[in-house]
Structure 1
Amino acid sequence: MEEKKRAANNRTLTLKPEEIDRLRGRLLTAENLTAETDILNRTLNGDILEMLKFVPDGFADLIIIDPPYNLTKNFNGLKFNSRSENRYDDYLESWFPEVCKKLKSGGSLYICGDWKCTASLQRAVEKELTVLNRITWQREKGRGAKSNWKNGMEDIWFAVKNPDDYFFNVDAVMMKRRVLAPYKIDGKPKDWDEGEDGNFRLTCPSNFWDDISIPFWSMPENTDHPTQKSEKLYAKLILASSKEGDVVFDPFLGSGTSSVVAKKLNRRFCGIELNEEYCLWAEKRLELAETDKSIQGYGDGVFWERNTLAFQGRERQTGKNRETEKRESLKMK
């Protein structure tokens, strides 16, 4: 676990040497797991198929999965290699049916992917569950491409075990958007609010999300995980498809976003992750969530557009956004 040299304003989560043993002691592994072990609100460190043996069938109200996409990627020394579509289908078949057994009869499942693997994901999900929708979200972080279109989108497949009995709370995931061309009737706003911070409208969310920011160095939720999802992204899934006290399960936990957001939103959680260092990051983030429940981009019970001035004053009490910090630093010079 080598310590990188970082810029002074870099807020990426790191581990101090004295934290490692303490956080490691919180992990559940094959050596300290039994059939009687309480796995709620815990991180399971090990291979997915081995760890799934300790997860009861019908365990989770909501499952969120962010598996390796069909790309060659180095996950902290554990390399996943791109393969043919048929072989990627086989890879999904090796664990996805077992994960679905852990879903309650009225539960929901979300699985993430990109354009290259999304067809495989759809085939895998449709064998086990009923697909209700495909969410596409805009991700601006990424390299440009000279001989192809830059990949700026990713998918999340939404599926349920029983299409006649599942939970979905649209009121919990309303979007607050700026009104650029306000329409009035008799001098009064029509379906929008006029306030000191500007003009805004509450709207129902669609299956295209353009308000997600990928975690990067200036955000305290950021880690060195190469494919980390943002807390705001997962907050939408958790608020829409679970109730307080429900169990959120993530079999590819990574740096812990699903568990952290579940904790912040008063859900129970459990995650499986093969890489120990990622598990330690997750545990540190869970510790921080005990005193900081904020989720960037979510406040006052609604999701706000990116770079919305009205929200900037309500953001984290523990840190201000980059533009505010820049303005204040200029005043001090």
Structure 2
Amino acid sequence: MSTAEKVAYATKLLRISGPQSVADILDRTIHQDSLTALPLMPDSFVDLLIVDPPYNRQKDFNGSTFKVMPEADYQIWLASWMSQLPRLLKPTASIYMCCDWQSSNAIYQVFSRHFQVRNRITWEREKGRGAKRNWKNASEDIWFGTMSDKYTFNVEAVKLQRRVRAPYRDNAGKPKDWQETQQGNFRNTYPSNLWTDISIPFWSMAENTDHPTQKPEKLIAKMVLASSNPGNVVFDPFLGSGTTSVVAKKLGRHYVGIEQEELYACWAQKRLALAEQDTSIQGYTDGYFWERNVGLGDRIPAVKQNH
């Protein structure tokens, strides 16, 4: 991002100083600390909440350092902002809260006080440093919860299309629970709470930024498609470089994001502008999620079956 771009995108950021209506903040990036902004947000406007808070480890966010705390202190910090979220959510809202193995327990303790816990998702990060005296840390967790027993879950929208290596056929010789195409044999599988099809953004991917904890668009797309409908409002109070808002926009949802670092907020604005021309999401094609690093041109060729 050039200096001129940063100046231009900074003018599009919102800062709030009083109570807001939904119209005031809809499809905007709020450049502010969440603890300051959350009390000013309107009641019951959120259909889907996606939160990727700082984990309990030392991390530099463009000069602002988050430091490791004793777990009790980390829970107090979590509660300082998480307790403000239920007021913002509709009774039918869903919530996804990201964490790693070190912060998962503390986040669960606070998360479960405010929301009905539905599941814990574990997703594989294929990147990460090797460890000579420990297991390589290659996964993160996401706590999935809801406000009530009435909530959206579009299971057909988040099926994973997998290659079928040993296809079964019925007595008539027709494919059984899979599709036979000229590109190969595939099965649309129900989504589980173990996600192994995610690629971390790397330098050659259009979505990549220099944010130290950027989440992949494909990861967020699973949550948005499963737990919201077109036109719904998706809210992220720790927006970072804007992935949640960008994915919401690409998938026809409204968005609201809060980010305290101006540079990251400007990155978000640039990505939102780019999303007006390019709505593609890596790993999501033709209404299905694909196995990692598999695209339309990578599908295995069809194999003739002899009967």
The counterpart of 1:88, out of the listed 68, 74, 94, is 74
Aligned to 1:79: 65
Q: Shift of the alpha carbon at 1:147?
A: 1.5
Q: Shift of the alpha carbon at 1:312?
A: 4.9
One-letter identity of the residue aligned with 2:97: I
Aligned to 1:8: none
Q: Shift of the alpha carbon at 1:188?
A: 2.1
Aligned to 2:225: 239
SS of 1:107's equivalent in the other structure is: strand
SS of 1:95's equivalent in the other structure is: helix
Q: CA RMSD in A?
A: 1.4
Aligned to 2:160: 175
Q: Deviations over 1:274-320 (max 9, x none)?
A: 1000000000000000010000000111101112253559xxxxxxx
Q: How many residues are matched?
A: 297
TM-score by length of 2: 0.94
| % identical aligned pairs | 55
Aligned to 2:197: 211
One-letter identity of the residue aligned with 2:167: P
SS of 2:85's equivalent in the other structure is: helix
Q: Shift of the alpha carbon at 1:30?
A: 4.0
- Distance, in Å, in 1 between the alignment partners of 2:256 and 2:100 is 25
One-letter identity of the residue aligned with 1:88: Y
Matches within 5 A, 1:6-17: 15-17=1-3
Aligned to 1:42: 28
* Contact 2:122/2:140, CA 8 A, preserved across alignment: yes
- Off by >6 Å, runs of 4+ in structure 1: none
Q: Judging changes above 3 Å, is the alpha-carbon distance between structure 1 residues 146 and 200 closer, same or farther for their aligned structure 2 residues?
A: same
* Contact 1:197/1:309, CA 8 A, preserved across alignment: no
Q: Deviations over 1:227-251 (max 9, x none)?
A: 0000000000000000000000000
Aligned to 1:326: none
TM-score by length of 1: 0.86
Structure 1 residue runs without a partner (length 5+): 1-14, 314-333
The counterpart of 1:188, out of the listed 174, 182, 196, is 174
Q: Deviations over 1:142-162 (max 9, x none)?
A: 111111111111000000111
- Distance, in Å, in 2 between the alignment partners of 1:172 and 1:188 is 25
- Distance, in Å, in 1 between the alignment partners of 2:70 and 2:117 is 24
SS of 2:74's equivalent in the other structure is: helix
Aligned to 1:270: 256
Q: Judging changes above 3 Å, is the alpha-carbon distance between structure 1 residues 252 and 276 closer, same or farther for their aligned structure 2 residues?
A: same
SS of 1:185's equivalent in the other structure is: coil
* Contact 1:99/1:251, CA 8 A, preserved across alignment: no
- Distance, in Å, in 1 between the alignment partners of 2:19 and 2:74 is 32
Structure 2 residue runs without a partner (length 5+): 300-307
- Distance, in Å, in 2 between the alignment partners of 1:168 and 1:285 is 27
Aligned to 2:87: 101
One-letter identity of the residue aligned with 1:185: D
- Distance, in Å, in 2 between the alignment partners of 1:140 and 1:306 is 10
Matches within 5 A, 1:112-261: 112-163=98-149, 165-186=150-171, 187-261=173-247
